C-alpha cells in the first residue's frame, strides 16, 4: 500500500473550493459534503486526514481494475512521452490496436468500433447509426434504465433523471422491464414481460415494426437495481428483432468488461447484439473513453458511406493506450475469471446476510455486480424507501450509507437498493472486511422493518 501522507489543511481547502466553485452532478448543491480525496490504490482511496475507504462501488462502477494499477499508470506515462493528442482523422497505434482487441473480445462478429469520450456519446451514436441503417426512426427503450445525460441518451433513459430534460428527442417508446421481484405484469407463468418476446411483440403491434429502428437495453440493468434478466429473455428479444429487421443495441457501459464474470454480460446468454456500447470498464476511467462497436453486416454496409458522426477527441491516444494496457492486464492477470469466481463468493455471503437481516427482500447479481433490495416487509415487498425518494423520505438508506462510510466502507445506493460493485480485483480479505461493515450497517435498515 502506498504511503498515506496527511494534510488536513489542504483537505479542507479542497472541500471548500469544491463546494464553492464546482457544480456537482445529480446533487442539491447546498446539501453536498464531498470527501476530499488525496489518493487511492487497489480497492481503497483515502482523504487528507489519512482515513481509508474500501471502495465497494468502484466509484461509479467504472474503476474495474482498481485504483492506480501500475500497468495502466505506466501506459499513460509512456504514451504521453510519445504523443499526447492528435486529431481523429489520423491513425494511431493505440486506437488501431484497441479496435483490433475489441474485435477479439466482443461477442460474435462484432468487428468495427467508433470511439467516444464516454457511454452517453456511445449510445447517441448507436441510435443515430441504427436509424440511418434501417431508415426508421423509433427506438424502444425500457423504464428502469440509464443510458447517459446527453440529449438523446437522457431521453432513452427511463428513470426520473430524464424528467428535467423532457420532452427530449422524438421517437422514443417505452417497454417494461423483466424485473421479476416487482414484475409490472404480476409475473404470471409464462410472463409476457419477463419472457421478453410477447411484450415486445405487443408494443410493435401498436407502433408498427416498420417504424422501429432499434431496441436498446442495458443487458443487466445497472443503477436502477442490478436487475438480471431471466434466462431466455435476451434470446427472445434477439429473435423478435431479427424477425422485423430491428437493430438490437446492448448498452454494456456498466455491465461490460468482466463486471458480470464474462467479458460482456451478453456472453452469459450467448446473444450477439447488432451494436454494443461500452465505456467505464474499458479502461477503468483512467482517461475518459467509450466506444460503439458494430457487427460485420453493419460494418460492411457503412464502409462505402459517409459516416455523419465525429468527436474532437474520438480515439484519444492517451485513453486508447490505457484501454490497451487494461485489456492486456485483464487477459494476463485473469481478472474476468477472478470476477466470476468472486461472484460465487458474493452469492453465498450475501444470501447469508439476507438470512440475518429481514430488511433484505432480494439478493441478485452476477460476478462483482450485486444488488440488495431493501424492504419494510418481505411479504408485501414494500420498499424501504419509495421510488425516486429524496430528502427525509430517503433517510433510512441515507443513514445506512453514512454509517458504513463512517466505518470506512464506500457504498453506492439508489433508492431502496444497495449496489455492491467493487473493483474486479477485490481479494477475499477485502470482501470479508466490506461485508462485515455492511452487516453492522444493515441493522439500521432492520429498524424500519414492519414484518
Same-domain check for residues 441 and 355? yes
Q: Could you tell me if residue 68 is left (phi over 0), alpha (psi between -120 and 50 degrees) or otherwise beta?
A: left
Quick one: 202 and 350 in the same domain? no
Give SS3 for 60: helix
This prediction has a pTM of 0.97
C-alpha span between 429 and 447 (Å, rounded): 29
Q: What is the pLDDT of residue 247?
A: 99
Paired residues of 412 in beta bridges: 419
Same domain? 152 vs 47: no
pLDDT at 333: 98
Q: Which of 197, 201, 196 lies closest to 212 in space, CA to CA?
A: 201
Other CB atoms within 10 Å distance of the CB of residue 377: 16
Distance CA 284, CA 22 (A): 23
Q: Identify whether residues 360 and 316 lie together within a single domain.
A: no
Identify the domain boundary among 304, 333, 362: 333
pLDDT at position 2 = 79
Name the residue with cell 418481505: 378
pLDDT for 117-163, tens place per residue? 999 999 999 999 999 999 999 999 999 999 999 999 999 999 999 99
The predicted pLDDT at position 373 comes to 98
Same structural domain for residues 223 and 328?
yes
pLDDT of amino acid 424? 98
Q: For residues 91 and 151, state if they share a domain.
A: yes
User: Across 69-171, where does the E strand assignment appear?
Assistant: 110-116, 138-142
**Same domain? 341 vs 328:** no
Query: Which neighbouring-strand residues pair with 390?
Result: none
What's the CA gap between 326 and 262, in Å, rounded? 15
* 231 in the same domain as 92: yes
One-letter-per-residue 3-state SS of 133-159: HHCCCEEEEECCCCCCCCHHHHHHCCC
Which positions of the chain have pLDDT values less than 70?
Answer: none
Q: Which of 288, 317, 333 is the last residue of a domain?
A: 333
152 closest CA partner among 143, 144, 141, 160: 141
Is residue 224 helix, strand or coil? coil
Q: Give me the pLDDT at residue 3, please.
A: 83
The boundaries of the domain holding residue 257 are: 70-333
The cell for 446 is 432492520
Looking at the structure, tell me whether residues 27 and 127 fall in a common domain: no
pLDDT of residue 451: 78
> CATH number for the domain including 46?
3.90.1150.10
User: Over the stretch 398-423, which tens digit does the pLDDT of each residue have?
Assistant: 999 999 999 999 999 999 999 999 99
- Per the prediction, the chain carries an average pLDDT of 97
**Please, how many CA atoms are within 13 Å of residue 333, restricted to the half-sphere of its CB?**
17
Among 317, 333, 349, identify where a domain stops: 333
Q: How many CB atoms lie within 10 A of CB 180?
A: 17
Give me the residues paired with residue 370 across strands: 365, 420
What's the longest Cα–Cα distance across the chain?
A: 64
Amino acid at each position: 500500500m502506498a504511503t498515506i501522507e496527511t494534510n488536513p489543511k489542504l483537505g479542507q481547502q479542497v472541500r471548500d473550493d469544491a463546494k464553492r466553485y464546482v457544480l456537482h452532478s445529480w446533487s442539491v448543491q447546498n446539501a453536498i459534503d464531498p470527501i476530499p480525496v488525496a489518493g487511492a490504490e487497489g480497492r481503497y482511496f483515502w482523504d487528507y486526514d489519512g482515513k481509508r475507504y474500501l471502495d465497494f462501488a468502484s466509484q461509479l462502477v467504472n474503476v474495474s481494475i482498481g485504483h492506480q494499477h501500475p500497468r495502466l499508470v505506466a501506459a499513460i506515462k509512456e504514451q504521453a512521452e510519445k504523443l499526447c493528442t492528435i486529431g481523429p482523422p489520423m491513425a494511431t497505434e493505440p486506437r488501431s490496436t484497441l479496435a483490433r482487441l475489441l474485435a477479439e473480445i466482443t461477442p460474435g462478429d462484432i468487428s468495427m468500433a467508433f470511439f467516444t469520450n464516454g457511454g452517453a456519446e456511445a449510445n447517441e451514436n448507436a441510435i443515430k447509426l441504427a436509424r440511418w441503417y434501417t431508415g426508421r426512426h423509433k427506438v424502444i427503450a425500457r423504464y428502469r434504465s440509464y443510458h447517459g445525460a446527453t440529449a438523446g441518451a437522457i431521453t432513452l433513459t427511463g428513470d426520473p433523471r430524464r424528467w428535467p430534460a423532457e420532452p427530449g428527442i422524438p421517437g422514443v417508446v417505452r417497454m417494461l422491464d423483466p424485473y421479476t421481484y416487482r414484475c409490472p405484469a404480476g409475473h404470471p407463468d409464462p410472463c409476457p414481460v419477463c419472457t421478453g418476446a410477447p411484450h415486445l411483440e405487443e408494443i410493435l403491434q401498436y407502433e408498427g415494426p416498420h417504424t422501429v429502428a432499434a431496441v436498446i437495453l442495458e443487458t443487466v440493468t445497472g443503477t436502477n437495481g442490478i436487475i438480471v434478466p431471466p434466462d431466455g429473455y435476451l434470446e427472445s428479444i434477439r429473435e423478435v428483432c431479427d424477425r422485423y429487421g430491428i437493430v438490437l443495441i446492448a448498452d454494456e457501459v456498466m455491465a461490460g468488461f468482466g463486471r458480470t464474470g464474462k467479458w460482456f454480460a451478453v456472453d452469459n446468454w450467448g446473444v450477439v447484439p447488432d451494436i454494443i456500447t461500452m465505456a467505464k470498464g474499458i479502461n477503468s476511467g483512467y482517461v475518459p473513453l467509450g466506444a460503439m462497436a458494430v457487427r460485420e453486416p453493419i460494418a460492411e454496409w457503412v464502409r462505402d458511406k459517409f459516416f455523419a458522426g465525429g468527436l474532437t477527441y474520438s480515439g484519444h491516444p492517451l485513453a486508447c493506450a490505457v484501454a490497451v494496457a487494461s485489456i492486456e492486464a485483464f487477459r494476463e492477470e485473469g481478472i474476468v475469471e477472478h470476477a466470476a469466481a468472486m461472484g460465487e463468493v458474493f452469492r453465498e455471503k450475501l444470501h447469508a446476510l439476507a438470512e440475518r437481516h429481514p430488511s433484505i427482500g432480494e439478493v441478485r447479481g452476477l460476478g462483482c455486480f450485486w444488488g440488495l433490495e431493501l424492504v419494510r416487509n418481505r411479504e408485501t415487498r414494500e420498499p424501504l424507501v419509495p421510488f425516486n425518494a429524496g430528502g427525509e423520505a430517503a433517510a433510512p438508506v441515507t443513514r445506512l450509507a453514512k454509517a458504513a462510510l463512517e466505518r470506512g466502507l464506500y457504498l453506492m445506493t439508489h433508492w431502496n437498493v444497495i449496489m455492491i460493485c467493487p473493483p474486479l480485483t477485490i481479494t477475499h480479505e477485502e470482501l470479508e472486511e466490506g461485508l462485515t461493515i455492511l452487516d453492522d450497517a444493515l441493522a439500521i435498515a432492520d429498524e424500519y422493518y414492519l414484518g
